[in-house]
Structure 1
Amino acid sequence: MSISPISTAISCTDLHFAWPDGDVVFDGLSFVVGPGRSGLVGRNGTGKSTLLRLIAGRLRPQGGAVKSTGLLGYLPQDLTLDVGLTVDQALGIATTRQAIAAIEAGDASEANFTAVGDDWDVEERAEAMLGKLGLGSIGLDRRIAELSGGETILLGLAAELMRRPDVLLLDEPTNNLDLSARHRLYDAVASFRGALLVVSHDRELLERVDQIGDLRQGELTWYGGNLSAYEQAIAIEQEAAERMVRAAESDVRRQKRELIEARIKIDKRRAQGQRAQEAGGIPKIVAGGLKRSAQVAAGKHRNLHIDRLETAKETLAEAETRVHDDDGIRIDLPATAVPPGRIVLQLDGLGLRTGQEIDLEIRGPERIALVGANGAGKSTLLHEIVKSAAPVVPYRLLPQRLDLLRDDLTIAENLAEVAPQTDNNERRAQLARFLFRGRAADQLVGTLSGGERFRATLAALLLAEPPPQLLMLDEPTNNLDLASVAQLTDALASYAGALVVASHDLPWLRSIGITRWLQLDSHGLSAIDPL
């Protein structure tokens, strides 16, 4: 059945793609995306960014077809702009601006009019677009080198929107954006009238989409509604899948039991026949016939039960594939507990390179959210706390760059370096609770995926000796998929010490039980109500 191009914005048909090393990402993937806002979720490493690059034409598939309707815009996750460009060059309007300026100065050449076309209001449109995204003050003549990382991302979005695309692809667009920038991006997404496909783990952004695509093991399944509707549908599916597994496991046990019982009956009959022949009650020729007949019947009976057992095992295997492997982290960390009222951290006039002087006292197992605009100094503050050795209890810092572990050591060996007094069996038991079971703990850190590396780093922090009673996290949910964010939340639920988290992710901060909210700006720290 052909699909009308009016209802189809993006279509992938029998898509095949593998990396040069032979790692297959997609093998026959087909789907259609229509107008509206669509979110794309899935575990890190499942191919979400790769899929967007294929749709955008940045990668070529080995088979199948990828099509999009009309003009396509694409904002990659790793956006880099030439720092030597000006803002108007990044927006793609520099030539038109120059032509307009030349015409206004008296140069009415055909080349200038051709360059302008009908786009006489390009400067006003650009300034309006920048203002909409909170970039109204940067100016069209400013150099990219003068912009922050968050401003660069928003400028990249502005450049795509200025082209008025029919289809817009966004790959983790809110990473590294502060709260105000995120909300401006949310507004831009809400007002976009074309077809939008966004890869994200940002809950607030995903609550604004019309459908969610779940990419798992090379297959894409669509769910109508926003993130909340998707999570509800997944929960119902998983409950049904787990019931199927329990029923299939029960059937396998029953078939094994019946096979054993059938074998016992056959052995009893064979023994009875043998005793009867030995007693002379049955002629030898008759006994031989009965024996052969019994062997045929026994073989059929045994094969019947074997077939039933194999069928039950296949049913169980099929049922198990429907259960997602997004396991949670379950661990007890009683040694991290801090008595209420005990001073954990005392800062009196700590000077930052950004010019602020910071006063901060943390008592007991407080959970503090540290928020503020990009460049306000949140990361600087956390690193200065470590450098100044201000904490009066054992502490650990999880930096944005997950570079605490040695790539040339295994996960278990890295843990041994920070917890040398713990027995090896106990270390491995603890790593199993962080989902590194058995031989998985012997993987080299340098070979881990992003989500695995995060879990391994988190394990090393929380299981270190002495146990940390102050834990500082710097933008921990950046670049994590939804399952990894859930695992981080599980781990922090067991953490009993004081917690300081620098983050722009308000829904996640609320989910971990923040007790005090602090905003860092040019004047220092101040208590706020996040609403």
Structure 2
Amino acid sequence: MAAAIIHSQKKFAMLFLQGVTYAHPNRDVLFSDINLTVNKQDKIALIGNNGAGKSTLLGILAGRLKPTSGTAGADSKPYFVPQLFGQYNALTVAEALGIHDKLLALREILEGHLTDMNLELLDDDWGIEERCQEAFAHWQLEGITLSQPISELSGGQKTKVFLAGIMIHEPDIVLLDEPSNHLDAPGRALLYNYIRLTGNTLVVVSHDRTLLNLLDTVCELSKRGVTMYGGNYDFYAEQKAIEQEVLSLDVKAKEKALRKAKEVERESMERQQKLDARGKKKQEKAGLPTIVQNAFRNSAERSTARMKGIHAEKVSGIAQELSHLRSELPALDKMKVDFDNSSLHKGKILVKAEQVNFTYGDQPLWPGNLDFQITSGERIAIKGANGSGKTTLIRMILGELQPLSGTTDRADFKSVYIDQDYSLINNTLTVYEQAQQFNSGALQEHDIKIRLNRFLFTREYWDKPCASLSGGEKMRLMLCSLAVATQAPDLIILDEPTNNLDIQNVGILTAAINEYRGTLLVVSHDAHFLREIEAERELILS
């Protein structure tokens, strides 16, 4: 069936997908036969594991991608806020927002060039400049100009520029792909407020639990298609927990059935062997001719083989059903995260800083000098707006930078710094080689491969280059590498660790961190994640 993108004639549906299938250029099918209806003023969360195709599905809804088959429709042109901005780096802010020509036409008209082309480009939108000013002020984009290259902006500023585009374009339908990823706390507050108050029809891809709880419907994209849950993310999580509990009970019941089937098979075969042996003795005692004994033996063998086949078929059937059920279990239930404890006793002072500051140019980085102390076993959240010096502070804590004023005392401790790109992973190595790099305890090859399997890296992954892994896979490999090491680090620093993860992998990371008993410093704007890992103290930079 040929792909089509059409305008919906339905009375209430703003967006719809009917029988949509998408395949990559190499013909690998990403998802198939997807059906979805989004009604006016619906606020929908689109969730799913990394690789499920959420961004692709959003691209189809936006009209930016064509499905391989099926139809996609919209009552009006959706406005799209992307997750990645690399394709816009050669453009100005106005060009990226798609308003450059309109603004140029307005200036031409105001200068007296009242041409048909300029009037057509302007399309009676005489308030475009005022809306731009209001939108930029609302999204705290002071100092950003429409003529500025997008490449000069930070990730958070780029996100805010596209969010400002909602006020500028005034669409009915808005599609958001991970909109909170690069935003600091004030930016997230503005985003959450927009989602609460807007009358727009929304479809949002996000792993931000705070944001997801502001949406009234959750749609889960999986191999089974799109499953709709009528409630926010907390409601969805409750329903999934019930489903997983039922699934776990089904797995246990099927495991019991498999054990019983194997036991019945073994007992039946033993009983048959005894009967065959008894029959053979009777035949020999009766002095039956050899040809008759052979006929009885052949008949017994056929009967045994038939019985063995029946039992084997039953065992195989149950085993296949069990394998299918196990494949439905969440990844967190399949893996075992087992950190060794830090070698340092709880309460040991790791870093003590008095009146420290750092200077870029002539200006001190922080308005007031900092005093702080980090002791072993603490969990500290480092908070501050974008540009407040969080990365500089981390480098000072690690001893990579010395303050230009004040003093720091550092104890001897082992630390690991984990950033949002998981640069701890060496992209030039294979998956197995990466784990081997952390093998300080001289584990055997099979022991490392057992640990890789535990973190869902099966045989087909071992020789894969790390460069080909997704963000979630790199995070799991990083956790596996730390588990391979003989001794856990005394200090783990997490710098926006959830930015490129789906909800499943955020859960895996959270579980691992909650098993860790060393010292933890976390830079994150994800309030839910900070609550889940029980950050007990805040270090706030102004």
Q: What TM bracket, shorter-length normalisation?
A: 0.7 to 0.9
Give the drift of 1:25.
1.3
Aligned counterpart for 1:399 among listed residues 409, 419, 430: 419
Is the CA contact (8 Å cut-off) linking 1:178 and 1:374 kept in structure 2? yes
Q: Given the superposition, is the C-alpha separation of residues 449 and 134 from structure 1 closer, same or farther in structure 2, using an over 3 Å criterion? A: same
Q: Give the TM-score taking structure 1 as reference length.
A: 0.85
Distance in 2 (CA, whole Å) between partners of 1:42 and 1:439 is 23
Distance in 2 (CA, whole Å) between partners of 1:442 and 1:22 is 24
Is the CA contact (8 Å cut-off) linking 2:31 and 2:52 kept in structure 1? no
Where does residue 339 of structure 2 map in the other structure? 332
Q: Give the TM-score taking structure 2 as reference length.
A: 0.83
Q: Does 1:231 align with 2:237?
A: yes
Distance in 1 (CA, whole Å) between partners of 2:96 and 2:461 is 45
**Which SS does the other structure have where 2:183 is aligned?**
coil
**Which SS does the other structure have where 1:54 is aligned?**
helix
Q: Given the superposition, is the C-alpha separation of residues 431 and 494 from structure 1 closer, same or farther in structure 2, using an over 3 Å criterion? A: farther
Give the drift of 1:339.
2.5
Q: Given the superposition, is the C-alpha separation of residues 175 and 352 from structure 1 closer, same or farther in structure 2, using an over 3 Å criterion? A: farther
Distance in 2 (CA, whole Å) between partners of 1:339 and 1:296 is 70
Q: Does 1:482 align with 2:495?
A: no
CA RMSD of aligned residues (A): 3.4
**Which SS does the other structure have where 1:31 is aligned?**
strand
Give the drift of 1:406.
2.4
Is the CA contact (8 Å cut-off) linking 1:368 and 1:500 kept in structure 2? yes
Per-residue Cα deviation, 1:201-248 (whole angstroms, up to 9, x for no partner): 111111111222222236332222111111111110011011111111
Q: Does 1:514 align with 2:535?
A: yes
Aligned residues: 518
Is the CA contact (8 Å cut-off) linking 1:46 and 1:216 kept in structure 2? yes
Per-residue Cα deviation, 1:13-72 (whole angstroms, up to 9, x for no partner): 333333234433124334333341111222222222222223333333333333333212
Give the drift of 1:479.
0.6
Unaligned segments of structure 2, at least 5 residues: 1-7, 403-408
Q: Does 1:17 align with 2:17?
A: no
**Which SS does the other structure have where 2:286 is aligned?**
coil
Q: Does 1:61 align with 2:61?
A: no
Q: Given the superposition, is the C-alpha separation of residues 247 and 401 from structure 1 closer, same or farther in structure 2, using an over 3 Å criterion? A: closer
Which stretch of the first structure deviates more once superposed, 5-14 or 229-238? 5-14
Aligned counterpart for 1:363 among listed residues 344, 355, 375: 375
Q: Given the superposition, is the C-alpha separation of residues 304 and 91 from structure 1 closer, same or farther in structure 2, using an over 3 Å criterion? A: closer
Is the CA contact (8 Å cut-off) linking 2:103 and 2:128 kept in structure 1? yes
Per-residue Cα deviation, 1:348-394 (whole angstroms, up to 9, x for no partner): 42525373254432122221111111122212322343313864222
Distance in 2 (CA, whole Å) between partners of 1:303 and 1:318 is 22
Is the CA contact (8 Å cut-off) linking 2:390 and 2:541 kept in structure 1? yes
Is the CA contact (8 Å cut-off) linking 1:338 and 1:498 kept in structure 2? no
Where does residue 251 of structure 1 map in the other structure? 257
Where does residue 514 of structure 2 map in the other structure? 493
Distance in 2 (CA, whole Å) between partners of 1:421 and 1:288 is 62
Q: Does 1:409 align with 2:429?
A: yes
Q: 1:474 is aligned with what amino acid?
A: D
Q: Given the superposition, is the C-alpha separation of residues 90 and 308 from structure 1 closer, same or farther in structure 2, using an over 3 Å criterion? A: closer
Where does residue 226 of structure 2 map in the other structure? 220
The equivalences for 1:36-435 within 5 A come to: 36-80=42-86, 87-97=93-103, 99-100=105-106, 113-135=119-141, 138=144, 144=150, 147-217=153-223, 219-280=225-286, 304-327=310-333, 329-340=336-347, 342-348=348-354, 349-353=356-360, 355-356=364-365, 358-386=370-398, 387-388=400-401, 391-392=410-411, 393-424=413-444, 427=448, 431=452, 434-435=455-456
Unaligned segments of structure 1, at least 5 residues: 522-531
Where does residue 4 of structure 2 map in the other structure? none
Where does residue 3 of structure 2 map in the other structure? none
Is the CA contact (8 Å cut-off) linking 2:14 and 2:38 kept in structure 1? yes
Identity %: 33
Is the CA contact (8 Å cut-off) linking 1:13 and 1:66 kept in structure 2? yes
